[in-house]
Chains A and B, each alone.
Chain A
Amino acid sequence: MTQPILELRGLKVSIAEKPDIHIVKGIDLTIRPGEIHALMGPNGSGKSTLASTIAGSPMYVVDEGQIIYQGTDITAMSADERARKGIFLSFQYPTPIPGVTMVNLMRESLKARRGAEVPAREFLAELRATLNKLKMSEDMARRYVNDGFSGGEKKRAEILQMGLLKPDLAILDETDSGLDVDALRTVSEGVNALRRPDMGILIITHYERILNYIEPDFVHILFEGRIVKSGGFDLAKRIEHEGYDPILKELGITSTKVAEGAAR
């Protein structure tokens, strides 16, 4: 059997500055090459926390469990080392960085990912090819990173970087939110165009919309820091029609913090 891209083993996560706030409360998850997993769940269930933790955000600490990436325990590894090894996080809320152009960032990050200088011509050729593949214009690359971008532009800029960096594990955190139907289609087609058989993808969403374009092999429902149910694409379809409540009721789960769950 091929080695998994990602394995989460009993992962428990809390906030670095508030260690008594436990957000992820024990997650096991295995993503193998070629697989697309969808992580769904209401707002506040811990999806972004899990995504940031896999990417190595210093804002969170792993209290228990391990993150195994391509057979290596990366639980203690810095975010940049993980990225260089091929983990890519498409942020739910990409951070604006005024004064730094997309081109500048992408050139630096490609250099880091490859561990070698990327000649200007080669970089430009790759950038153009990726822009074409994603049907994006060069204007985007000349602007300051996420600065003054619309919601849709931010998500497209994330996918552009993903296309250039060719990750082995892509985590797409609410890449569909804030997009209209056309933008959603473009972004989804972009992701599909960038897909490789040896990569793993974790799509995080609280709607099933994007899953109509990028069909997942597995769907997991995250609720209050735990995966409470896993299934196939039909599970996402069921959530589309019924919402989360009937499923939770069926599982005998009642929220311990209903009010908080509604906050976004």
Chain B
Amino acid sequence: MATSTATYSETAASEAARGRGEPAWLVDARAEAARAFVATSMPSPALRPWKYTDVTALDVESFTPDAAFTPRVTGTAAAGGFAGSLVAALASHGEVVREHLGSVVPGTEGKFTAANAAQWREGVLVHAPRGQAFAAPVTVTVEGREGAIFPRILVVAEPASEVSIILRTSSPAAALLVAGVIEVVAQADSRVRLLIDTRWGADTREFTTLRAKIGRGADVQVGSIVLGGHIVKQTVEALMEGEGSTSTIRGVAVGDTEQHFDFVTLQELIGKKSSSEVEIKTALAGASRSVYYGVTRVEPTAIGASANQENRNLLLSPRAKADADPVLEILTNEVIRCGHGATVGPVDQDALFYLRSRGLDMRQSLVLLVTGFFQSVISGLDAPGLVEELESALREKLATAELE
């Protein structure tokens, strides 16, 4: 593969930004991020969130950025709002972008996030103005090709606004590196829904950080369905800053062959009476693997907060593997409820026999058991119309998965 080290240098990044006519503040941010990228080494498995996903041999710079990458945005913004190209928004909504871009996920904090901040060519801004609700979900379609892409999505929900976003990702079988950053600014009493439908091709490696800052009385719900990709690492973080803020992170993944999924969640409870739920379930066939590292941190200020995290993994093959590492850091005595649960295990043999005794063959029985297992997560997804499509995609994948 052609090396493109030069592209990732500080000089190249800032020159390219200038060449694209980006505003000075962004050119500076690009340079800073590129500097951080060069100075930062790949995360080592000694770091807990990277314990089971060893990327030390992955050479980001060997992936040439796909200069033509453009996410497609469909859907109509609420009056006075915006849903479309981030580059276009630099001109039309420059103040919003400048205020919030990089405010949630700084361009200097990690290898992949720095690569994204320095290299993104096109991205998406969804801006919901004060008191306005989008009539229908905004759909963002990311179609990767090969090389490297840096999807960048900024969601700004002003006070008492409502917006729902569906992100669909796909790619062909070619080698693709995806370093994504999704920033969500959910201001007071806003409601933000984000559903990610991940169907990368078999040689895509994704490393995405999604972080939401959640204000007083605001509610953010993130749902992630992962079916495709070779390595998919999604870090989803809810910073519950405001009093009474709420968040839910739901995930479902079906693994097969050599797929490797890695979910990291952070629920940081800061505001009084904030509350947050995490529920991630995987079903793993073939030699696929899922790892989960979830942190619930309840800050001393989070009086009356409540949180729960659950990670359940169903092994459909003796070669499949899952590791779950839930962590609670409770820094106040005044929590209402703070729990976690993690399980890894094969399907219930009694349930399997029960279904087979009703005439369903092994695969039909397993498909039914897995869809049942996912039900608690799927039924909670706030995505009417999409749920059936996702369920049938799950079934379709299971219909050919390597079961033993």
- Decide yes or no whether A230 CB sits under 8 A from chain B: no
Which of A19-27, A56-64, A119-127 sits within the interface? A56-64
A104 in contact (CB, < 8 A): yes
Does B174 make an interface contact (CB < 8 A)?
Answer: no
Q: How many residues of B contact A (CB 8 A)?
A: 24
Listed by A's residue number, 18 A-B pairs whose Cβ atoms lie within 8 Å are A55-B357, A58-B353, A78-B362, A79-B353, A80-B357, A95-B348, A95-B354, A98-B376, A99-B376, A100-B375, A105-B368, A108-B358, A112-B361, A113-B359, A144-B372, A161-B358, A165-B358, A165-B359
Is A177 on the interface with B (CB-CB < 8 A)? Answer: no
Contact with B along A84-116 (1 / 0, CB 8 A): 100011010011111110001100110011000
Interface centre among B348, B361, B371, B376 (most CB of A within 10 A): B361
Q: Which residue of A has the minimal Cβ distance to B365?
A: A80
A140 within 8 A of B: no
Interface bits B345-366 vs A (CB < 8 Å: 1, else 0): 0001111011111111110110
Sorted nearest first, the 5 A-B pairs with minimum C-beta distance are: A99-B372, A99-B375, A112-B359, A100-B372, A109-B358
- The answer to whether A78 and B354 touch across the interface, beta carbons within 8 angstroms, is no
Q: Interface size on A (CB < 8 Å)?
A: 32
Residues on B with beta carbons closer than 8 Å to the beta carbon of A145: 354
User: A83 near B359 (CB under 8 angstroms)?
Assistant: yes
Q: Are B364 and A100 in contact (CB under 8 A)?
A: no
Asked if residues A112 and B364 are in contact (CB atoms below 8 Å), the reply is: yes
Chain B residue at minimal CB-CB distance from A79: B356
Residues of B within 8 A of A52 (CB): 353
Once A80-B365, A109-B359, A113-B359 are accepted as A-B contacts, the answer to whether A94 and B354 lie under 8 Å apart by CB is yes
Contact B356 A78 (CB under 8 A): yes
Q: A57-B353, A59-B353, A95-B351 are in contact. Are A108 and B372 (CB under 8 A)?
A: no
Q: Which residues of B (114-131) have their CB < 8 Å from a CB of A?
A: none
Query: CB within 8 A of A104: which of B349, B362, B368?
Result: B368
Chain A residues near B360: list those with CB within 8 A: 80, 108-109, 112
Residue B42 CB within 8 A of the other chain: no
A35 to B342 CA separation, bound complex (whole angstroms) = 50
CB pair B355 A84 closer than 8 Å: no
When the two chains form their complex, are residues B349 and A97 in contact, meaning their CB atoms are under 8 A apart?
no
B→A interface (CB under 8 Å): 348-351, 353-362, 364-365, 368-369, 371-376
Q: Which residues of B contact A59 (CB under 8 A)?
A: 349, 353
Within the complex, what minimum Cβ distance (angstroms) separates B89 from chain A? 42
A144 CA / B374 CA spacing, docked (Å): 13
Residue picked from B357, B359, B374, most chain A C-beta under 10 Å: B359
**A-B contacts besides A98-B375, A108-B364, A112-B359, 9 pairs, CB < 8 Å:** A79-B353, A79-B357, A91-B354, A97-B354, A98-B373, A100-B369, A105-B358, A109-B360, A161-B358
Which residues does chain A contribute within 8 Å of B373, judged by CB atoms?
98-99
Contact of A83 among B357, B374, B375, B376 (CB under 8 A): B357
Which residues on the A side are within 8 Å of B376 (C-beta)?
98-99
Task: Find the B residue at minimum CB distance from A78.
Answer: B356
Given contacts A83-B356, A108-B360, contact A98 B372 (CB under 8 A): yes
Q: Kindly list chain B residues whose C-beta atoms are within 8 Å of the C-beta of A99.
A: 371-376
**Complexed CA–CA distance, A79 and B359 (Å):** 7
Question: In the complex, A59→B350 CA distance in Å?
Answer: 9
Interface residues of A in 219-236 (CB under 8 A from B): none
Closest CB in chain A relative to B113 CB, distance in Å: 36
Contacts of B364 in A (CB 8 A): 80, 108, 112
Give the distance in Å from the alpha carbon of A207 to the alpha carbon of B368 in the complex.
Answer: 35
Residues on the A chain within 8 Å of B349, using CB: 58-59
A157-199 CB mask vs B (1 if < 8 Å, else 0) is 0000100010000000000000000000000000000000000
A145 and B358 CA atoms in complex are apart in Å by 12
- How far does the Cβ of B137 sit from chain A's closest Cβ, in whole Å? 25
A229 to B217: give the CA distance in the assembly, Å.
Answer: 73
Q: CA–CA, A79 to B354, complex, Å?
A: 9
Q: Please, which residues of chain B bring their CB within 8 A of the CB of A79?
A: 353, 356-357
Which residues of A sit under 8 angstroms from B368, Cβ to Cβ? 97, 100, 104-105, 108
In the bound complex, residues from chain B placing their C-beta under 8 Å from that of A88 are: 357
Q: Within the assembled complex, what's the spacing in Å between the Cα atoms of A108 and B395?
A: 14
CB of A142, distance to nearest CB on chain B (Å):
13
How long is the Cα–Cα vector from A57 to B374 in the complex, in angstroms?
A: 26
Q: How far is the CA of A109 from the CA of B63 in the complex (A)?
A: 50
Closest chain A CB from B340 CB (angstroms): 20
B359: chain A residues within 8 A (beta carbon): 80, 83-84, 109, 112-113, 165
How distant is the Cα of A82 from the Cα of B357 in the complex, in angstroms? 8
Chain A residues closer than 8 Å to B348, beta-carbon distance: 95
B362 touches A97 (CB 8 A): no
In Å, the complex CA distance between A99 and B348 comes to: 14
CA distance A246 to B21 in the complex (A): 100
Q: In angstroms, how far is the closest chain A Cβ from the Cβ of B182?
A: 29
B358 to A97, Cβ gap below 8 A?
no
Chain B residues near A96 (CB-CB < 8 A): 351
Of chain B, the residue at the smallest CB distance from A113 is B359
Cα-based distance from A99 to B374 in the complex (angstroms): 7
